[in-house]
Structure formats: structure tokens, C-alpha cells
Structure 1
Amino acid sequence: MHYGFAIDTKRCIGCHTCAVGCRMENHLPKGIWWNRILTKGGEDMDTPEGIFPDVTMSYVPVACQHCENPACVKACPVGATYKDPETGAVRQDYDKCIGCRMCVAACPYTGVRSFNWAEPEYTIDFECGGQNVPAHQKHTVEKCTMCWHRLAKDEEPMCIRMCPERARYWGDLDDPNSEISKVIREREYMQLLPEKGTKPSVYYLV
């Protein structure tokens, strides 16, 4: 089994619902975003490129690419970053993490990981999020987990469930009959930094 994502860049409206849903489901500390919605256009978020009326703007959601050949796993000296053999998801064991940030340095996808320099602080003063979400810890690296706690219950990741425009697909890339496999066969797509040899499991439909 090899789970992956496909994101329809023609349908994504940059609403950030997937990013906010991820934050809530995983009870992310203040200032931490595992899923970012980048603007393909002007220099700032939600700004177009060009001069009116000839302007263009689209969105590129970016999170951990859950690579088939993850550089982060090779770089981690203690096995805290590892590839789940059952799902193909690249996961992080906070209890093993020693805060060396070698995985951050090795990952070619800038900004998909964050580091808790201090004891995590939260915007609200009570816990939220899904069941079995591990507690965030000081001096550890964090990133998208593909909502592994939801996968364990045969549920899809929260970003998939929350997308109002049905711009996100998720499923087993090894299954030729899965929805994600079909859409990848039928549509043109791109991947981020394929030249790095990491074989990302995220496909951007164009």
C-alpha cells in the first residue's frame, strides 16, 4: 500500500480550509502550519501576477511530500523520522527526536517542517484535535503526518475531508482502480523538484 495525494490546481481557490482543518485536527501549536497555501502569482500571498487586466493567480498547497525515497529518513541519525511500511507515509516519532534538525536540512522542500524551540504554546487554552494525536514537545521537529491517527481508523486525512471545492484527492497509489490512480492517469500533472530523486507522493494536477 502506498498512500498519496493529488491536488487539482484548477479547482483550488486558496481558501486555506485544508490548512486550518489540519491545524485543528492535529492541535498544532501557535505559529505552526503543516500545510501552507502558496500563491502562484505576485510576491505576496493572494496577489496576482501581471498588470490589470492581464493578470494571473493560482494556488499551490505545500506540505510534506511523503516521498518514496525520503532524504529526511536517510539523514535522521536516531530513526525518529521513518517511513511507515503499511501506508508509505513519512512519520515523525517525537519521543525519539533529539532535535538535531538533520531532517530539515536534508529535505529539499523548504518550509514543510517546523521546530519547537520552546515548550509549545497554543492560541486557545484547551485541547482540541483528533483522538490519539500525540502531544507536541519542546525541541522536536514536526510536519504533516498524513493524519496517521485517522488512517488507523480507516478515515481519510482531515485536509481531504475539509476541502470545499473537492480539489484534493487521496488514496492508494498502488491500486490502479483507486480514485487517485484514475485521476493521475487521466490528467496532466507536475511534482515538486522531481530532479531531487525523492519521488514525492504528491501530484499537482494542471
Structure 2
Amino acid sequence: MPCAPPTQRGTMIGKGYTRRKSLVALAGAAAGFLVMAPARKARAAVQKLFTSTGAPKGYDPTQHKWLMAINIERCIGCGLCVEACKKENHVPPQPTYFRTWIERYIIKKPRPGQAAVQGETVVDSPNGGAGGFPPCEIPREEILKAFYVPKLCNLCEHSPCTQSCPVGATFDTPDGAVLVDPKYCIGCGFCIQACPYGCRYFNPYTRTADKCSLCYHRITRGLRPACVEVCPAEARLFGDLKNMGPDDPIAKLVRTNKLHTLKPHLGTEPRVLYAGLDKEVR
């Protein structure tokens, strides 16, 4: 459409459309935009969710908020969770690719004459914990304490990975998951570098970034993540914050334990919570 002649474009003020009215109208339009923008963003997120994940049509992501809790005192380091995750999500079989893994922490006693409360911290994770852990080579009498720490995507409320992706291939979902759309991922690796928890890897077969998806294809159909399903010690707990009753396993854990997150100083606000988290865990 051609622009109106200058005389017509400037006649509005002459007809009583004052500067004050212009500002009022502009403010009203801005307010309307601010109200509509979050709604549009939410609808776009939901649409992207269904397009990229294949979630069932009856699933409403706005009615859920997923989180996971891990009770370190219950983890036995069997590695079944790692194996189940690899099988369920087609993670490359090589021992350097994991969506979830287990680390073994061994805190040694201080050496004689040392004023420290504890000694060296030794951390290992052979094959990501898949298949369990070999016997510890450190003599038992030198060990102060030892424990296992399962790790996975931390479901950050303020996720650095989504902020670093230049094409929007990695995104937050309304129900709290952080996903990667392989159709749009260009394999630049920015998100892998941005994750402060080391939870992402480059898949050599798909040539895209990959990570824990909470087994999104399962939880949107009423199933638990594979790692939670196979844990024989119930060290991993999975729940819905928006639909959580007092008898929910995570609610019970909160009542009886003090929960922590990994690297809280980063301000990412993870939704993976740990009970019995030692200060030596990094």
C-alpha cells in the first residue's frame, strides 16, 4: 500500500488528536503488548513442544512441573540407571557418552600430623558407573567415608544452555524439562560448553548436541524416567510439583531431609534436588 501524502499523514493532530492522546494511546498499546506477549510465548513454547517431541495430544505441559530428587544415602552404585538410560534413549555405546552417570566419592582420612578434618578427595566414574564399580584400591583404614552421586541434567530454571544456543534448538518446556530439537541443532557445541554441570555431549551419529530429556517420551504418557524405574534402592525419585500430595515420595523426602542442589552459587536454580549431599561434591 502506498504511503499517504504528507498533508494527510499530518492532519490527525489538527483534528484534535493531541500529543497527550497520542501518548495515552501508545501506553495502552504497549500495555496490551506486555499482556499478550507472555501468552504468545507460552503458546509458541507449547506448539514447539508438540512439534519436536511427539508428545500425545491429550498431554497439557502447563499442568505439570517435573522435578527429580536423589537420595545419596540410598544409592548403591549398581549402575542400572546408566544402563537403562543408554538403552531407552539410544545413547552411543562408547564409554564417553552419557545422559546420566554415577560418580564415586572417596574421602580419605587426614594424614598423621595434619590439622585438617579430612584428607584427599578421590573421585572416579569408570564407564559412567555402568556395570557398577570395581573394588576400591585405597586401603579401608585410610578411608573416612565413601558414597555415590548420580548426575544428570539439572533442569535449571535459568538454563545457560538455552541462552547460548544461537538457533533456539535447545529450549525450556512449560513443564520444566530442557530439550534439544535435533531438526534445528547445527552442532556448534555452544550449549555443551555453556552447561556448568557437564551434562551435554556431542552425538557422533546424529551430529547434534544431546542430553537427558527426563525420558520425555515416557513422562508425557504417565510413565517414570527409565533411570527411576530400574533403581533397586529407590535412590532416584521423580515427581510433579503441581500435582504433588503429602504422600508423594519427594514430599516425604523433603519432610525428613535437608535438600540441596549442585553449584547453587551459579544461580541456575536446578530442579534436581539432593538429600545427603556432601560439601565435597562438585
Which TM-score tier does this pair reach, normalised by the shorter chain? Answer: 0.7 to 0.9
Answer 1 or 2: which has greater helix percent: 2
Runs of 5+ in structure 2 lacking a partner?
A: 1-63, 107-121, 126-132, 277-282
Could you say which residue in structure 2 is the equivalent of 1:189? Answer: 259
Identity fraction in percent: 38
Residues 150 and 60 of structure 1, relative CA distance in 2, 3 Å threshold? same
Residues 259 and 275 in structure 2, CA contact (< 8 A), matched pair in contact too: yes
Q: What's the CA shift string for 1:128-149, capped at 9, x where partnerless?
A: xxxxxxxxx1x20000000000
* Equivalent in the alignment of 2:72: 9
Answer with 167-176 or 12-21: which moved more. 167-176
Q: Return the alpha-carbon distance in structure 1 between the equivalents of residues 256 and 244 of structure 2.
A: 12
* Structure 2 residue aligned with 1:25: 88
| Matched-pair contact (CA < 8 Å) for 2:72–2:149 | yes
Are the counterparts in 1 of residues 171 and 180 from structure 2 also a CA contact under 8 Å?
yes
Partner of residue 153, structure 1: 221
- C-alpha displacement at 1:180, in angstroms? 1.5
1:36 aligns with 2:101: yes
Q: CA separation in 2, counterparts of 1:49 and 1:186?
A: 34
Give the structure with higher Rg (CA).
2
Q: From the superposition, tell whether residues 162 and 154 of structure 1 become closer, same or farther in structure 2 (CA, over 3 Å).
A: same
Q: Number of residue pairs matched? A: 185
- Relative contact order, CA 8 A, sep 6+: which one is greater? 1
Q: Work out the CA distance in 2 between the residues paired with 1:22 and 1:10.
A: 21
1:127-138 equivalence runs, <5 A: 137=206
Unaligned runs of 5+ in 1: 121-136
Aligned to 1:123: none
Report which stretch shifted further, 98-107 or 14-23.
Answer: 98-107
For 1:59, the equivalent position in structure 2 comes to 148
Once the two structures are superposed, the pairs formed by residues 94-113 of structure 1 within 5 Å of their partners are 94-110=182-198, 112-113=199-200
Residue aligned with 1:6, SS: strand
TM-score, normalised with respect to structure 2: 0.62
In the alignment, what sits opposite 2:160? 71
Residue 203 in structure 1 maps to residue 273 in structure 2:
yes
| Compared CA separation, residues 49 and 202, structure 1 to 2 (3 A) | farther
Q: Secondary structure of the equivalent of 1:74? A: helix
3-state SS of the aligned residue for 1:100?
coil
RMSD: 1.8
**How far apart are the structure 1 equivalents of 2:137 and 2:251?**
33
CA contact (8 A) 2:260 2:275 kept: yes
Cα displacement string for residues 149-203 of structure 1 (whole angstroms, at most 9, x for unaligned residues): 0012111111110001111110012445243233123211221001111111111
How much does 1:30 deviate?
2.3
Deviation of 1:57 after TM superposition, in Å, equals 1.2
8 Å contact from structure 1 (residues 38, 60) kept in 2: yes
